[in-house]
Structure 1
Amino acid sequence: MSVFKLLKPVLVTFFASTMLTACVAPTYVTKGTEFPGMYTEKPKSLLIMPPINLSTAADAKDYYSTTVEMPVAFHGYYTFPYELTAEVLKEQGIYDSELVYDIPLNKFQEYFGADAVLFTKIVKWDTSYAVVASNLTVSIEAEIKSTKTSEVLWSYTGTVVVDLSGNSGGGGGLVGLLANAIVTAINTAAADYTTYAKQANARFIYSVPVGPYHPQYLKDQEVKIIQQQQPKQETN
């Protein structure tokens, strides 16, 4: 069997997905039109909840939790110390953020004085590995909910895909194939997920309207971002 026959299904899938991706252009909107609740409620303090881990990586929650607090603080919000928050929640019997995600959040205003709560979900935190090809995927969903109304004031979905495939420059043939396989294995083993989680965070935090401790507070309504909320379909 020829190499082309072996690769044909992969090539067809690749070109089909590439054409589909190329046909779907992102829609750009402003922060003000996409997240008006952030400008009307003007939250000053955010309570960062422990991540909700939907991935298959058991340690993803511990790694990712270290990447959120500081970027949010630099974006102009008062953030409650994460370790303290997690400890208080455990004392109240709340070990998983899933337990409070769908309930009224006014208690967090009473306990912490928080204006809003930041929920994050780890959707993917894994590596796909196939000898000479390897991809690292970190996918995050996030929402800011009001402690006054429990309504979603802001939401975002972001994914970072990193190519860890070998590119050793070892030439063609079996030697080059083996060299690339070795490089791929090394890159995969050494991959620092937290680095790429920070990249995903940087993307979603950029879309958040800045807080009151930022010089651009209430001045970024016209900043353009990729649309996150899908337009509602009209029903007859």
Structure 2
Amino acid sequence: MKSIKLFGMLAFAIFLTGCQSTYVTKSEAFPKMYNEQPASILVVPAINNTTAPESTDFITTTLAEPLSYHGFYVAPIELVQSIFQQEGILDGAQLANVDPSVFGEQFGVDAVLFVSINKWQTNYYVVSGNVEVALQYELFSTKTGEKLWFYNDSLVVDTSSNDNSGSVAGLLVNAIATAIKTATTDYVPIAKRVNFMALSSAPVGQYHQQHNKDQQTPSVNRFKAK
């Protein structure tokens, strides 16, 4: 029992050391979030810098759940997207130069979230495959126009077959299985996973039980926050 406790303490110490060397606390990373305390967020159409037009819907429509989970009120995404579409706005890049205060006046929200999709591709290498996604998030205050939170990260999901027989027949089966699995990958869970990963770095909103209690929580890897 003592050895188990000792191992646990050692592992925790290593974790803290790692955090100190590569991570900052939420209050250090995003002090403006604590100063302004945004409660409501508007999600605009994603800025799509890829050749995958469908990725915009995957990302935008899967943001409501993680935002709500982290304690924020989210302006109804389907309704908001419909309003933008009626105005001919299909990509967030069309809104990049709009003063954030406009979103506050028109939608009555505290902050507006822009998401840039920088990579969304399926890679197939005959006997292996993966899906690679890279996103950047920026949250702006509709009161001051300042950036309250930001994050960028990437995720690679392996879609290779698990057949490791090594025979010619096994390799052929493996190649076919990988091709099918890669081609039929469900991107919605991937989009949700990346969104949850990103938002876990942000201070939680006022509807979360940890609101104003997470200042010292490790937040963003220094090499990923830009």
TM norm. shorter chain > 0.5: yes
- Check if 1:89 corresponds to 2:84: yes
Alignment-derived partner of residue 4 in structure 2:
none
Instruction: Provide the TM-score with structure 2 as the length reference.
Output: 0.85
Q: Could you tell me the percent identity over the aligned residues? A: 44
Alignment-derived partner of residue 199 in structure 2:
205
Residue 207 of structure 1 aligns to a residue in which SS?
Answer: coil
Letter in structure 2 aligned against 1:44: A
Alignment-derived partner of residue 176 in structure 1:
170
Alignment-derived partner of residue 33 in structure 1:
28
Counterpart contact for 2:152–2:225, Cα < 8 Å: no
Determine the C-alpha separation between the residues in 2 that align with 1:95 and 1:125.
Answer: 18
Alignment-derived partner of residue 192 in structure 1:
186
Residue 55 of structure 1 aligns to a residue in which SS?
Answer: coil
Residue 107 of structure 1 aligns to a residue in which SS?
Answer: helix
Query: How far apart are 1:115 and its partner, in Å?
Result: 0.6
Spell out the pairing of 1:143-158 with structure 2 (5 A cutoff). 143-158=138-153
Q: What do the CA deviations read for 1:16-49 (whole angstroms, capped 9, x no partner)?
A: xxxxxxxxx9711000000011000111110011
- Check if 1:220 corresponds to 2:185: no
Determine the C-alpha separation between the residues in 1 that align with 2:152 and 2:21.
Answer: 13
Letter in structure 2 aligned against 1:29: V
Structure 2 stretches lacking a partner, 5+ long: 1-19
1:208–1:82 Cα change, 3 Å = same
Number of aligned pairs?
205
Residue 67 of structure 1 aligns to a residue in which SS?
Answer: coil
Query: How far apart are 1:93 and its partner, in Å?
Result: 4.7
Query: How far apart are 1:210 and its partner, in Å?
Result: 0.3
2:49 aligned residue (43, 54, 57) = 54
Q: What do the CA deviations read for 1:196-225 (whole angstroms, capped 9, x no partner)?
A: 111111110101110001111111010002
1:163–1:90 Cα change, 3 Å = closer
List structure 1 runs of 4+ shifted beyond 3 angstroms. 90-95
Query: How far apart are 1:121 and its partner, in Å?
Result: 1.2
Alignment-derived partner of residue 68 in structure 1:
63
Q: What do the CA deviations read for 1:111-143 (whole angstroms, capped 9, x no partner)?
A: 111110011111111111121121111211111
Determine the C-alpha separation between the residues in 2 that align with 1:96 and 1:176.
Answer: 44
1:176–1:26 Cα change, 3 Å = farther
Alignment-derived partner of residue 113 in structure 1:
108
Counterpart contact for 1:142–1:155, Cα < 8 Å: yes
Counterpart contact for 2:48–2:91, Cα < 8 Å: no
Q: What do the CA deviations read for 1:139-163 (whole angstroms, capped 9, x no partner)?
A: 1111101111221110011211011
Instruction: Provide the TM-score with structure 1 as the length reference.
Output: 0.81
Letter in structure 1 aligned against 2:149: W
- Check if 1:101 corresponds to 2:106: no
Q: RMSD of aligned C-alpha atoms?
A: 1.7
